[in-house]
Amino acid sequence: MSEFDTSHVKNIVLLGHAGSGKTTLAECMLFEAGITTRRGTIADGNTTGDYHELEKERGNSIFSKLLHTKWRGYKINILDTPGYDDFTGEVISALRVADTGVMLLNAVMGVEVGTDIIWDYTEKFKTPMIFAVNKLDEDSADFERTVREAKSHFGNKVVVVQYPLQTGSGFHEIIDVLRMTMYRFKDAGGKPEKLPIPDEEKAKADELHKELVEAVASNDETLMEKYFDKGELDEDEMKVGLKKAMINHDLFPLFCLSAERNMGSGRLMGFIDNVCPSANEMPPQITKKGNEMVCDANGPACMFIYKTTSEPHVGELSFFKVYSGTIKTGMELENETTGVSEKLNQLFLVEGNKRTTTNELVAGDIGATLKLKNTHVNNTLHAKGKSYELLPIEFPPPNMTVAIETVKKGEEEKLSQALHQLREEDPTLLVEVSPELKQTLIHCQGDMHLAVAKWKIENQHKLEVKFVKPRIAYRETIRKMADASYRHKKQSGGAGQFGEVFMRIEPWYEGMPEPTDLNVRGRDVHDLDWGGKLVFYNCIVGGAIDARFLPSILKGVMEKMHNGPLTGSYARDIRVCVYDGKMHPVDSNDISFKIAGLQAFRTAFQQADPQILEPVYHVEVLCPDDLTGHVMGDLQSRRAIVEGIDSEGHFQKVIAKVPLAEMDGYSSALRSITQGRAKFKMHFQAYEPVPYDLQRKLIDDYSKTEKEEYA
């Protein structure tokens, strides 16, 4: 039987911008609960959470970690997440299975860009949230400013539960306006002394207490009536009201911390077990079919895979949350996505890189299992005979693309296997083998994300690789009408080859009128795989060319559109009218008319004012106000057109459209320009004409390449 039932399991996720102190807080929580005998530090590289070799090397979290602690009769599962948005997939997957978020705010920096980005995801999941102002012991700490910024960014739902008596090196007293108590800590932190609130602070504490009580009461009619009757709510009533308001995303309590000096973590843990909801108190999960799944340990077994990792000498470790029933060792469950039956040979409680075997996990709990054969992130496993599929995690689109190559020839297969493994572990890393660009591409969140991928390939898969600039998927089109003809004639003894084609090409656009000076006999519209259209007209009169040869002419045209005349890029949005030609009763055949069609199209294309189009992306950069000028200047140096600037809280959002060719290295450049204080996202917007001088250069570069290939 499980040590904790569903109502006594709490799942929290630690969130916040890089450097806000999440991993340090996790260390405090483990230490305070007696799980560890000493607190590890980032500087010493010995924290329970950041155990990975790469994290120790870099000094920051890269992967989300599952930890757990026991506190006053409750099990608290702690999901520690990275703060850089390059690893946002780790944050989202942890948020998906958490029942409460703890958002750490750096009292020195206030609300940072990373906090805002993460907040968008908490709003989407409607995760109950606690704010914790950390680093109040640092000299530049400003609690009041941080609270103002939190309210400005996240609304007046942010309600102060605690405030510091003083900040900086003298920080060691916290006034709690929920319990109306002052906590005084020793220099070494730990368990505080409980004292009455000093007389000089009573007025402020009473005012904040009243604000808190009114905020709780305003979200519950029953409590509002009690508040009007008594002018106060007791602690049990506050607990009920706080929980309900947090579940409804109507109230976000704010606490004080110094994780570095272990001050405030015990009270925060007490609030988590007393007030924060268990999984069975949260709204039911919704399946893909729209049905509700209640979190009940006595229900049918159902678990959701939110993360996988590959460990040397062990294999693939799958992390899951139990959403219904009780999962037991030896149980066989069915994968709703693949239909495959999976046997759970081992179940683990996880503490960073340490795993403890367990026989069962109840609904609401989080754990891990080994060596599931055909189960991946976002898969639902359930009892046989059921049909449950929980809604998947939606990961963000990539912001950066590079091409990857092996340093040694002949290792392409090994690279393919390594990339497949990376993709299994990290759904935000996309791999594409592009036939168009003739490159293997990695699409990722940023340069740090890419560096981690490279480290894994080289250290775990023992494969030396290099990243190169990806080629740009240009498109070719035309801007005016042109006519051309081509006669293909070949005689080499016996039957020869003969075909002559007269062709007109024009720029195609939606709704363009039919040709008026040609006799239209047939019309085919082809939606091209790479975007745009080819509209092909049969305008042959008098049987100059047999209808049976028209598909061959079309094939020749399509072949040239697949390998455009200017740069070898795909051509698009062209209308082709075949209006005359000649054939020979013996020598004409399909290959003759394919060649004639291709060459006539090539000649006409060169005479039709050809144009190279480049992919242009919509880019949004979120940055502090004082860095807006630097960000705009850098974008304009990349041929960007800045379309506007919007305010988002204390940040500015610069909106621009930028050619993809100019976005190479942007992630690193932005981090350098802003000292990591800005974030960006981008998505494809449209194909637009390249400037004349760039078009000339692209054509010249391609012609040199062509000459080299045929030399």
Q: Are both 400-468 and 614-693 of the same fold?
A: yes
Q: What DSSP element (H or E) covers 696? A: helix 692-710
User: What's the whole-number average pLDDT of the chain?
Assistant: 92
What is the residue whose two structure tokens read 């082809």?
Answer: 526
Rounded to whole angstroms, the Cα distance separating 626 from 55 reads 31
Judged against a pLDDT cut of 80, whether residue 411 lies above it is answered with yes
574-623 residue pLDDT tens: 999 999 999 998 889 999 999 999 999 999 999 999 999 999 999 999 99
Residue 710: predicted pLDDT: 38
Rounded to whole angstroms, the Cα distance separating 602 from 594 reads 12
- Which of 3.40.470.10, 3.40.50.970, 3.30.70.240, 3.30.559.30 is the CATH number of 614-693? 3.30.70.240
What is the residue whose two structure tokens read 């009218």?
Answer: 577
**SS3 state of residue 317:** strand
- Which of 2.130.10.10, 3.30.230.10, 1.10.10.10, 1.10.760.10 is the CATH number of 476-608? 3.30.230.10
Judged against a pLDDT cut of 60, whether residue 711 lies above it is answered with no
Residue 495: predicted pLDDT: 75
Q: Which of 411, 128, 452, 473 is nearest to 309 (CA)?
A: 452
Rounded to whole angstroms, the Cα distance separating 251 from 215 reads 7
**Domain-by-domain residue ranges, the chain?**
6-281, 285-382, 400-468, 476-608, 614-693
Judged against a pLDDT cut of 80, whether residue 708 lies above it is answered with no
The pair of structure tokens assigned to 158 is 């942010």
Angle made by CA atoms 693, 699, 701, in degrees to the nearest 5: 100
H, E, C per residue of 344-357: CCCEEEEECCEEEE
Q: Which residues contact 452 (CB under 8 A, 6 or more apart)?
A: 54, 62, 87
Residue 519: predicted pLDDT: 92
Beta bridge partners of 443: 401, 430
The alpha carbons of the chain give a radius of gyration, in whole angstroms, of 32
| Euclidean distance between the first and the last CA atom of the chain, given in angstroms as a whole number | 76
The pair of structure tokens assigned to 214 is 């009114």
Q: Which residues contact 410 (CB under 8 A, 6 or more apart)?
A: none
Say which CATH architecture domain 285-382 belongs to: Beta Barrel (2.40)
610-640 residue pLDDT tens: 999 999 999 999 998 889 999 999 999 999 9
What is the residue whose two structure tokens read 């497949």?
Answer: 420
Q: What angle do the packed helices 666-674 and 447-459 form, to 10 degrees?
A: 120
Q: What DSSP element (H or E) covers 613? A: strand 610-624
Q: What DSSP element (H or E) covers 309? A: strand 302-311
The pair of structure tokens assigned to 32 is 């305070």
493-503 residue pLDDT tens: 667 899 999 99
179-198 residue pLDDT tens: 999 999 998 889 999 999 99
Q: Which of 94, 265, 125, 119 is nearest to 185 (CA)?
A: 265
User: With bands split at pLDDT 50, 70 and 90, how would you rate the model's confidence at 316?
Assistant: confident
Residue 709: predicted pLDDT: 44
279-291 residue pLDDT tens: 999 999 999 999 9
Residue 149: predicted pLDDT: 93
H, E, C per residue of 481-543: CEEEEEEEEECCCCCCEEEEEEEEEEECCCCCCCCCCCCCCEEEEEECCCCCEEEEEECCCCC
Judged against a pLDDT cut of 60, whether residue 55 lies above it is answered with yes
Q: How many residues does the chain have?
A: 711
84-126 residue pLDDT tens: 888 999 999 999 999 999 999 999 999 988 888 888 889 889 9
What is the residue whose two structure tokens read 């219904």?
Answer: 324
Rounded to whole angstroms, the Cα distance separating 432 from 426 reads 15
132-156 residue pLDDT tens: 999 999 999 999 999 999 998 899 9
- Considering the entire predicted model, what is its pTM? 0.86
Instruction: Kindly state the DSSP code that residue 198 receives in the 8-state scheme.
Output: P
Residue 707: predicted pLDDT: 57
- Is the domain defined by 400-468 classed in CATH 3.30.70.870? yes
Judged against a pLDDT cut of 90, whether residue 420 lies above it is answered with yes
Percent of the chain with pLDDT over 90: 76
Q: Which of 613, 670, 675 is nearest to 637 (CA)?
A: 670
Rounded to whole angstroms, the Cα distance separating 39 from 262 reads 9
b/e sequence 264-301, b meaning 16+ C-beta within 10 Å: bbbbbbebbbebbbbbbbbeebebeeeeebebbbebeb
2-21 residue pLDDT tens: 688 999 999 999 999 989 99
- Which of 3.40.50.300, 3.30.70.20, 2.60.40.10, 3.40.50.620 is the CATH number of 6-281? 3.40.50.300
Residue 706: predicted pLDDT: 66
Beta bridge partners of 13: 79, 101
Q: Which of 388, 338, 343, 345 is nearest to 363 (CA)?
A: 388
Report the pLDDT averaged over residues 641-667: 91
